[in-house]
Structure 1
Amino acid sequence: MRAYRFVTLDVFTDRRFGGNQLAVFPDARGMSDAEMQALAAEFNLSETTFVLPPADPANTARVRIFNRVAEMPFAGHPSVGTGFVLAEAGQAGSLRLEQIAGLVTVEVWRDTAGQVTGTAIAAPQPLAVGQELPAEVAAACASIPSASVVTARHAPTLAADGGNPRLLVEVTAEALAAAAPDLAAFRRVVAEVPALRGFLSLYLYRRDGATVRARMFSPLTGTWEDPATGSAATPLAGFLLRLSGAESAALDIIQGVEMGRPSLLRTTARRTAEGIRATVGGGCVQVLRGEALL
């Protein structure tokens, strides 16, 4: 029997039992793909990460990310949290994580005493804007009236920057509070829209003064609601910059409030020669340590 050490942490928060939960296996050498997927299903969190030696020794590590049912090319809070765990273990300076979607660079945040408090990651790819969907489709998936989808600036739009495409949907404050995923509607939409390739992640947002309030639903992958979604925050930041015409912007996103797990995601976006690039960062707190037996 083999024993693999793991830690769990809460990401995009400065206190335990807030933010988004994550399990990290800091040394997954010797694990099979099937074992990684089984452990991710066993933890039953939105994602679990497995750290391996890098293919290129110039990089820090190779990181594989699994949700409950499949491996992911990139995800935000797993990258932020894994960077935090590696920095706490003694990795110095900025980190470079190899992922399926590309290289993810990690900036480590420390307090005045030098303790690691969080990290910020750069999405591995520039913003890619995809298909628009009708307001009534997004509304049906969120169980809200079609009229509560705000389309003055944009229709519900698919966008990504290395991870799974997210359907970005601006809604009224009342709709954001009342929204709940309709599983039948999600299934119907992915069956009717080939561009979705069997996947739909709904990211609702509403401007609230200088910040944005957001909620994310992905019931087809087992995440009924997500308390903090870094790989939705970065395309949202990039997409809003694209609409504004500005050269760069910083945006704080508050998510998870309705779940009792408030999260703060601090994003930036800027125009570059290769397109709009975005970052997301936040605090992390370790919660559990243990071993998995295989």
Structure 2
Amino acid sequence: MIDSVRPFSQVDVFTDQLTAGNPVAVVHDADGLSDEAMAAVASWTNLSETTFLLPPTDPGAAYRLRIFTPRTELPFAGHPTLGSARAWLEAGGVPRDPSGPVQECGVGLVRLRSSGGRLAFAAPPLRRSGPVDEADVDTLVRGLGLDRTAVRDAAWVDNGPGWVALLLPDAATVLGLEPDLRALAANEVSRAVGVVGAHPAGDEAAFEVRAFVPAMGVGEDPVTGSLNAGLGRWLVDAGHAPSSYVAAQGTRLGRRGRVHVEHADGQVWVGGWTVPGVVGSIAV
């Protein structure tokens, strides 16, 4: 039974070419929808995330965002933040600050800015950081199908989804991974695992990134803002990366995601191009 018809958008994120990034489904004017209805829509779209735009409860925010995977709700996620901001702007939203809107979500307020048409979000603080226990690294290595000696460094970079990250020798090692997704989904270390490795000097992208979240109903996420936000803090602070760089993601999935990471004035900004792909309505 249809209760209402709401505006609906689908935006491709971290790409300047439709179908080459990571799409997010956005339901506008979602006030009044139940948690069960939101979860059902997210399961139906079967994208890595579906979001719902709501009136803010904080006077400093332009809108409130709820973010669902096919199986669970997240307090924060990066590509849905950028895609939902683009959808809100395209629908006529006008931010108080001309540089960009402020989003309210499960981790609090998240600032966005636009530069040359490319949106970026201010990375939220990490909920968990620091080294990963050796036994936990061993568990993740088995799920990823790696030799333990291939892990150059490991850290918690969790800003909401639960990310733990492993630094591998190079981009080729990252691209060559054939993980056991069932083992990763069943591991008790983290439901969100990211890997990163450097490209040769002079390449367009400094790093190759892959993200595995089978416990959330997504085997490999095409392009992941929250992971890259956590990596941006860790890799720079640990001396593994310059203060600004571009990361590639989605290559193994036939995507061409590009994530721009920049440290400026004590803040980590994570950005990319966004391309509206679908504009219409949804009956929920």
Task: Indicate whether the TM-score tops 0.5.
Answer: yes
Is 1:257 aligned with 2:247?
Answer: no
Query: 2:214 aligns to what?
Result: 219
The question of whether the paired residues in 1 share the 8 Å contact of 2:173 and 2:197 is answered with no
Query: 2:261 aligns to what?
Result: 267
Cα shift at 1:39: 0.3
- Letter paired with 1:105: R
Query: 1:114 aligns to what?
Result: none
The question of whether the paired residues in 2 share the 8 Å contact of 1:130 and 1:158 is answered with yes
Cα shift at 1:181: 2.8
Q: In 1, distance between residues paired with 2:77 and 2:32?
A: 23
| Local SS of the residue matching 1:14 | coil
Query: 2:160 aligns to what?
Result: 163
CA displacement 1:62-91 (0-9 Å, x = unmatched): 111111111100000000111111222332
Q: In 1, distance between residues paired with 2:42 and 2:219?
A: 16
Query: 1:113 aligns to what?
Result: none
| Local SS of the residue matching 1:124 | coil
Query: 2:270 aligns to what?
Result: 280
- Letter paired with 2:258: L
CA displacement 1:145-190 (0-9 Å, x = unmatched): 33322x2xx2x22112x32221211113443122133134224531
Q: In 1, distance between residues paired with 2:27 and 2:115?
A: 21
The question of whether the paired residues in 2 share the 8 Å contact of 1:75 and 1:163 is answered with yes
Q: In 2, distance between residues paired with 1:223 and 1:29?
A: 27
- Aligned CA RMSD, in angstroms, stands at 2.1
After alignment, is 128-137 or 284-293 more displaced? Answer: 128-137
The question of whether the paired residues in 2 share the 8 Å contact of 1:143 and 1:179 is answered with yes
The question of whether the paired residues in 1 share the 8 Å contact of 2:140 and 2:184 is answered with no
Cα shift at 1:282: 0.4
The question of whether the paired residues in 2 share the 8 Å contact of 1:50 and 1:63 is answered with yes
TM-aligned CA distance change 1:169 to 1:65, over 3 Å: same
TM-aligned CA distance change 1:20 to 1:239, over 3 Å: same
Cα shift at 1:109: 3.7
Q: In 2, distance between residues paired with 1:245 and 1:37?
A: 38
Q: In 1, distance between residues paired with 2:79 and 2:239?
A: 26
Q: In 2, distance between residues paired with 1:73 and 1:257?
A: 27
Cα shift at 1:126: 4.9
Is 1:232 aligned with 2:227?
Answer: yes
Cα shift at 1:244: 2.2
Q: In 2, distance between residues paired with 1:32 and 1:89?
A: 23
Once the two structures are superposed, the pairs formed by residues 1-294 of structure 1 within 5 Å of their partners are 1=2, 2-90=4-92, 91-92=94-95, 93=98, 94-110=100-116, 117-126=117-126, 128-134=128-134, 135-149=137-151, 151=152, 154=153, 156-160=154-158, 162-172=159-169, 173-190=171-188, 196=189, 199-208=190-199, 209=201, 211-244=206-239, 249-269=243-263, 272=266, 277-294=267-284
Cα shift at 1:245: 9.7
Cα shift at 1:57: 3.1
Give the TM-score taking structure 1 as reference length. Answer: 0.85
Q: In 1, distance between residues paired with 2:240 and 2:21?
A: 31
Q: Which runs of 4+ in 1 moved over 6 A?
A: none
CA displacement 1:79-125 (0-9 Å, x = unmatched): 01111112223324220110111101110244xxxxxx431001232
TM-aligned CA distance change 1:167 to 1:126, over 3 Å: closer
The question of whether the paired residues in 2 share the 8 Å contact of 1:87 and 1:108 is answered with no
% identity of equivalent residues: 31
CA displacement 1:20-69 (0-9 Å, x = unmatched): 11001121122111101110010000101100111123320011111111
Question: Where does the alignment leave 5 or more consecutive residues of structure 1 unmatched?
Answer: 111-116, 191-195
Question: Where does the alignment leave 5 or more consecutive residues of structure 2 unmatched?
Answer: none
TM-aligned CA distance change 1:186 to 1:88, over 3 Å: same
